[in-house]
Amino acid sequence: MSIEADPEIQGVLIKNQAIILEPNRQQELEQKGYGEIEKDKLFLKSFESLYLLYIGRLALFKGKKNIEFVSFLQICKKTR
């Protein structure tokens, strides 16, 4: 099964980095080569987050605000 067919993943944006908190999703993504686990959290790289946002697999939140692909792309451009 490809990652594109799986249900949506919820992530939070902390200090301009997407973090996956749900253990089942962490394991699923890590097995497919995404991100790095640190202190029970999966930290996605910017390009991984952008890809998952682009294909509609990632719902990224900062507080209660939903961060869309274009918004996250702008954040990535500012931090480079």
Q: What is the CATH number of the domain that holds 30?
A: 3.40.1170.20
pLDDT at 52 over 90: yes
- The whole-number pLDDT of residue 1 equals 43
Per DSSP, 6 falls in state S
Asked whether residue 2 carries a pLDDT value surpassing 70, the answer given is no
Q: At 5, is the pLDDT very low, low, confident or very high (cuts 50, 70, 90)? A: low
As for how many domains the chain has, the answer is: 1
29 in Cβ contact with 35 (< 8 Å) = yes
Residue 23 is part of which domain span? 3-78
Q: What is the mean pLDDT of residues 53-65?
A: 94
**Averaged over 46-64, what is the pLDDT?**
95
